Chain A
Amino acid sequence: QKEVEQNSGPLSVPEGAIASLNCTYSDRGSQSFFWYRQYSGKSPELIMFIYSNGDKEDGRFTAQLNKASQYVSLLIRDSQPSDSATYLCAVNQDGTASKLTFGTGTRLQVTL
């Protein structure tokens, strides 16, 4: 079993819709959770992080964490074509916030 699992996609949503990206993790001791956006041929760009159960909103992005279910998600409201990218879920397991375990990413396509 992979430590961090994501559906590879592609997830296709129409412009203006809500995109929902999901991630599950295996280590119950995981402490910090990150979402990175990666455009093709580019490096990962941090867009959200969440440490506590519940929702965290930043602009069009909402991260949701449920530690009991070992589940973290990212919602993108009013999706734009420029949101088309691979979204990487990353988990910190030992308190060193940037020693991260990444999933393989979900490719999001926002269609016109």
Chain B
Amino acid sequence: GAGVSQTPSNKVTEKGKYVELRCDPISGHTALYWYRQSLGQGPEFLIYFQGTGAADDSGLPNDRFFAVRPEGSVSTLKIQRTERGDSAVYLCASSLRPRGTRAEAFFGQGTRLTVV
């Protein structure tokens, strides 16, 4: 596609429920990143994929968070037993390559997650 696409754009869920957030990167981009942005803060790194594998998941806050990218394109961020503190905008970004030239990241519009 023309840009990074994220669905849904908004998600309201009850505390304790499971949610999935989807990211469709720019066509041909091998690297995919998930960030989380809370109000008044900059984005915070969660996880990075190169192809199908998670190359760096050091930003995932705990084991309730998990992400997959089974075919090296679309990625899904999964959050189990959601807590009110998980409420934030979840941003996905992709880049043509993970390092060197053409490694700049382009962000999707984000999914605003609200846990009530």
Please list the residues of chain A having a beta carbon within 8 angstroms of any beta carbon in chain B. Answer: 4, 32, 34, 36, 42-46, 49, 88, 90, 95-105
Of B44, B91, B99, B100, most A-chain CB atoms within 10 Å: B99
A15 to B41, CA, bound (A): 27
Number of interface residues of B (CB under 8 A): 25
The reply to whether A45 and B107 form a contact with Cβ atoms under 8 Å apart is: yes
Pairs A–B under 8 Å by Cβ, sample size 13: A43-B109, A46-B105, A46-B106, A46-B107, A49-B104, A88-B42, A88-B43, A97-B100, A97-B103, A98-B98, A98-B105, A99-B33, A103-B42
A98 and B44 contact, Cβ closer than 8 Å, known pairs A43-B107, A49-B104: no
Of A43, A101, A102, most B-chain CB atoms within 10 Å: A43
Please list the residues of chain B having a beta carbon within 8 angstroms of any beta carbon in chain A. Answer: 31, 33, 40-45, 48, 55-56, 91, 93, 95, 98-100, 103-110
A101 and B45 contact, Cβ closer than 8 Å, known pairs A95-B99, A96-B56: yes
Chain B residues near A32 (CB, 8 Å)? 103
Chain A residues near B93 (CB, 8 Å)? 98
Q: Across the two chains, which residue of chain B brings its CB closest to A88?
A: B42
A45 to B106, CA, bound (A): 7
